[in-house]
Amino acid sequence: MAAPQQQKLKVNGPVTVTANRLTDGVVVWRTAEGGWSTELNDAIVVTTAPEAIALLEAAGKRDTDAVGPYVAPVILGEGSAILPGNLRERIRVAGPTFELPA
Amino acid sequence: MYAYDEFDRTLLAERVTEFRGQVGRRLSGALTEDEFKPLRLMNGVYLQLHAYMLRVAIPYGTLSADQLRRMAYVARTYDRGYGHFTTRQNIQFNWIKLEELPEAMAALAEVGVHGIQTSGNCIRNVTTDQWSAATPEEVDDPRIWAEILRQYSTMHPEFSYLPRKFKIAITAADHDRAAIKVHDVGLRLHRNAAGELGFEVLVGGGLGRTPFIGKKIKDFLPVRHLLSYIEAVMRVYNQFGRRDNIYKARIKILVHEIGAEAFSAEVEKEWESIRDGALQLDDAVIADIRSRFIYPKFEKLADNPPELVEALQDERFATWYRSSIARHKVPGYAILTVSLKPVGLPPGDATADQMDVIADLAERYAFREIRVGHEQNLCLPHVAQRDLPALWRALDAAGLATPNVNLVSDIIACPGLDYCALANARAIPVAQDIARRFADLDRARGIGRLHVNISGCINACGHHHVGHIGILGVEKNGQEFYQITIGGRADEQAQLGTLLGPAVSYEEVPDLIERIVDAYLELRTNPRELFVDTVARLGTEPFKERVYEAH
């Protein structure tokens, strides 16, 4: 299975654009202001493929802030909560699913 | 231990300086990510799910106490206080920051370790038996030959852009602990009837998407021809290996497609033109490399000293001894395996504090030497038997004396979806759940030797194809599922496991493994018949009937 960055874009629900911060690899999400945030709740969410492609293209124009942007599914929770849309994204938000050794 | 010379030290220092400049240019924007990515990969730097990961080679699995202590320092200073030992005699730091990587690399380079050729389409870290130069079984120290290959292949311009990565493993013992049959090239060092040293050469083994057991292309290659013959293999691969399809680019596909005989003929043709040239190893070169390995000055000791005999009265010590200690070639000494598989913790991980403890113990009791095995455990290869009780107490206090070596909870697992950008499913928590299920070590000992190997994707870093029980994580409609194989093995009788039945969900895996084990206990002829032998005798059907019909 190809990594998310390599997959053909299919948008069947709310999505956002995510990447890793250049300096330290920390997970970041694209914001409506055209920046990046370490909080998923700050992410811009779109629901169509053209919107997602536009977001992705904009995110890829400058690669000194974030690396490897791709479109990731999200779930809209109660209130204004934005939740990760699959297990991979849940792990990227919350970290490994077990207690770290140290 | 091998003592690096000034050339190695200069090379590493220059590489750190070069990488520091590359990182600086990347952070300033002078290099794009597309330009920088191949440069960082050449230094073992990956970008994973949550962070950069630094993979550092441990050449032929040998570490000094100073090197391990430095790894502890890097884990503590630049990472989150632990490291992960892999199935290829590497260590990985999972949380390292790009902006701090040059400093971490500089710290590692000071003790002669680095991430060069731990990624990319080059000849990777050459691996060997972690019991090298300690086991009575071997005909020579295979690390001599691994070191010769290391020097030859490091930054080799002709082999830096191969069709795909290339992995070489060497054993010098009849019992293969280096899994040579599932490497691109596997070398078995042995003596011919005249007593001369040479290699049996296997090619085209490998796991991943298309697993194959290596095929023999030479019975006996005199050691002086090692480099010229490997060069011939590499040239044939470089010329004919497929570059049009990443999934068909490994040498195993080439060997499979044209056949071992045709491949061997091409190698012989190429070899003929270079075999007696500059790559021929003369005795002086071999002697020089050999002289740079520093071996322990063993005392004259007797086996079973009183300290050991007395300690064996303690059931806890005796249990650990039976699990962790193997016979050494020198009387009065032993080989000690340090399990990095405490029940319920991530397989292959060691904290910085644990690394320091092991380094201190190696310094005090084991001639300053530590080994890493592909099973993701560590090893102190040369310890006096009289010191085993003290070693056990110190290891036990540090959580490093779990007596489960080669038992069902001694699980090989890749990082899986918890870390890896390529993974489809988790591996570590599956291993933890299985280990907890078999936490009763009396029960585990009753089951006997049983290797469970888990991979979180088809790339098979967890060697699932050659696990006695292999577990492969796949993704179906956004959910994790796991395919189970049985009957695989990675030793001198290496073979690929056979699929047992339909994939099961994450939650179902421990129950399924337990049913497989219960089936084995019912089917084995006696407690000495190992799981893998029962599968070999009966095939998978009796297991399938019991495991799936009972469900």
Residue B138 is part of a domain; what is its CATH number? 3.30.413.10
Classify residue B296: in a domain, yes or no.
no
pLDDT at B6: 86
Of A1, A24, A64, Cβ closest to residue B424: A1
Residue A60 burial by Cβ neighbours in a 10 Å radius (0-12, 13-18, 19+): middle
Which residue of A23, A91, A97 is in closest CB contact with B98?
A: A23
- Which pLDDT belongs to residue B3? 79
Q: Is B138 within 8 Å of chain A by CB? A: no
- Judgement on whether residues B199 and B316 belong to the same structural domain of the protein: no
Q: Please answer yes or no on whether B98 and A97 come within 8 Å at the CB atom.
A: no
Chunked into runs of 10 residues, chain B (551 residues) has average pLDDT values of 84 96 97 96 96 96 97 98 97 98 97 94 96 97 97 93 96 97 98 97 97 98 98 97 95 97 98 95 95 96 98 98 98 98 96 98 98 97 98 98 97 98 97 97 96 97 98 95 98 97 96 97 97 97 88 57
Q: Are A30 and B106 in contact (CB under 8 A)?
A: no
Distance CA A36, CA B325 (A): 53
- Using DSSP, state whether B161 is helix, strand or coil: coil
Among residues B54, B74, B66, the alpha carbon closest in space to that of B3 is found at: B66
Q: In sequence order, what E strands does B136-281 have? A: 168-171, 185-191, 197-203, 215-222
Is it the case that residue A5 has pLDDT exceeding 70? no
Which positions ≥6 away from A82 have C-beta within 8 Å? A16, A40, A41, A43, A45, A74, A75, A76
Q: Do B381 and B354 sit in the same domain of this protein?
A: yes
Question: What whole-number distance in Å separates Cα of residue B495 and Cα of residue B472?
Answer: 16
Residue A23 lies in a domain: yes
Chain A residues close to B480, C-beta within 8 Å: 87
Residues of B in contact with A63 (CB under 8 A): 32-33
Question: How far B226 CA lies from chain A's nearest CA (Å)?
Answer: 38
Only one residue has tokens 């491949």, namely B263
Same domain, B264 and B161: yes
- Co-location of B195 and B338 in the same domain: no
Please give the share of chain A, as a percent, with pLDDT higher than 90. 83
Residues of A in contact with B47 (CB under 8 A): 20, 25, 67-68
Length of chain A (residues): 102
Residue A51 lies in a domain: yes
The answer to whether the CB atoms of B352 and A102 lie below 8 A apart is yes
To the nearest 10°, report the CA torsion of B324, B326, B328, B331.
Answer: 90
Name the residue of chain A whose CA is nearest to B79's CA: A102
Does B281 share its domain with B330? no
Domain that holds residue A19: 11-94
- The per-residue DSSP string of B454-518 comes to EESSTT-TT-GGGSSEEEEEEEETTEEEEEEEES-B-STT-B--EE-SS-EEGGGHHHHHHHHHH
* C-beta atoms of B50 and A1 within 8 A: no
Same domain (yes/no): B173, B255 = yes
Distance from CA of B450 to the nearest CA of A (A): 24
Domain count, chain B: 4
Is B81 touching A (CB cutoff 8 A)? yes
Report the 3 state secondary structure along chain A.
CCCHHHCCCCCCCCEEEEEEECCCCCEEEEECCCCEECCHHHECCECCHHHHHHHHHHHHCCCCCEEEEEEEEEEECCCCCEEECCHHHHHHHHCCCCCCCC
Compare CB distances from B426 to A25, A97, A100 and report the shortest one's residue: A97
Whether B217 is covered by a domain: the verdict is yes
Q: Report how far residue A29's alpha carbon sits from residue A39's, in angstroms, rounded to the nearest whole number.
A: 7
Q: Does residue B431 share a domain with residue B388?
A: no
Number of independent structural domains in chain A: 1
Look at residues A79, A95, A5 and name the one whose alpha carbon lies nearest to residue B426: A95
CA dist., res. B497 & res. B452, Å (int): 11
Q: Is residue A32 domain-resident?
A: yes
Q: Which residues contact B464 (CB under 8 A, 6 or more apart)?
A: B207, B453, B454, B455, B470, B471, B472, B485, B488, B497
pLDDT at A4 over 90: no
Shared domain for B515 and B539, answered yes or no, is yes
Q: Pick from B451, B441, B449: which is nearest to B402 by CA?
A: B441
Q: Is residue B386 part of a domain?
A: yes
DSSP state of B177: S
Look at residue B485 and tell me if it is in a domain. Answer: yes
Residue A60 contacts B where some CB pair is shorter than 8 Å: no
Q: Looking at the structure, tell me whether residues B320 and B469 fall in a common domain.
A: no
CATH code of B42's domain: 3.90.480.20
Pick the closest to residue A94 from B350, B477, B49 (CA basis).
B49
CB contact under 8 A, B82 and A100: yes
pLDDT band at A7 (very low <50, low <70, confident <90, very high): low
- What's the whole-model pTM score? 0.96
Q: What mean pLDDT, rounded, does chain A reach?
A: 92
Residues B417 and B542 in one domain: yes
Note whether residue B100 is domain-resident.
yes
Q: Is residue A5 part of a domain?
A: no
Strand B45-47 and strand B333-338: the pairing is unpaired
Environment class of residue B452 by beta-carbon count within 10 Å: exposed (0-12), middle (13-18) or buried (19+)? buried
pLDDT score of A6 = 54
Contact A98 B98 (CB under 8 A): no
Chain B residue numbers with beta carbons less than 8 Å from the beta carbon of A20 are 47, 50-51
Domain membership of residue B366 as a residue range: 306-397
CB contact under 8 A, A101 and B418: no
From the list B28, B49, B80, which residue is nearest A100 (CB)?
Answer: B80
Given B238, B263, B291, which residue is the final one in a domain? Answer: B291
Assess if residue A66 is contained within a domain. Answer: yes
Name the CA radius of gyration of chain B, rounded.
Answer: 23
Q: How far from the centroid of its chain's Cα atoms is residue B162's Cα? A: 22
Whole-number pLDDT of residue B548: 87
Q: Using CB atoms, pick whichever of B47, B99, B419 lies closest to residue A20.
A: B47
CA B483 – CA B72 distance, rounded (Å): 36
Judgement on whether residues B189 and B281 belong to the same structural domain of the protein: yes
B33 → closest Cβ in A26, A63, A96:
A63
CA distance A32 to chain B (A): 22
Q: Nearest residue of A to residue B477 by CA position?
A: A86
Q: Are residues B264 and B146 in the same domain?
A: yes
Cβ within 8 Å of A, B 33-52: 33, 47-52
A56 occurs within a structural domain: yes
Residue whose C-alpha is closest to residue B46's, from A102, A29, A88, A67: A67
Structure tokens belonging to residue B203: 């090619």
Buried b (16+ CB within 10 A) or exposed e, A63-79: beebbbbbbbbbeeeee
Nearest to B47 among A25, A63, A100 (CB): A25
B345 touches chain A (CB under 8 A): yes
Any idea of the CA torsion for B493, B496, B497, B502, to the nearest 10 degrees?
A: -170
What does the alpha-carbon distance between residue B188 and residue B198 come to, in Å, rounded to a whole number? 8
Within a domain: B199: yes
In a domain, B129, yes or no: no
3-state helix vs strand vs coil in chain B, percent to 5: 40, 20, 40
The chain B residue lying nearest A60, using CA atoms, is: B33
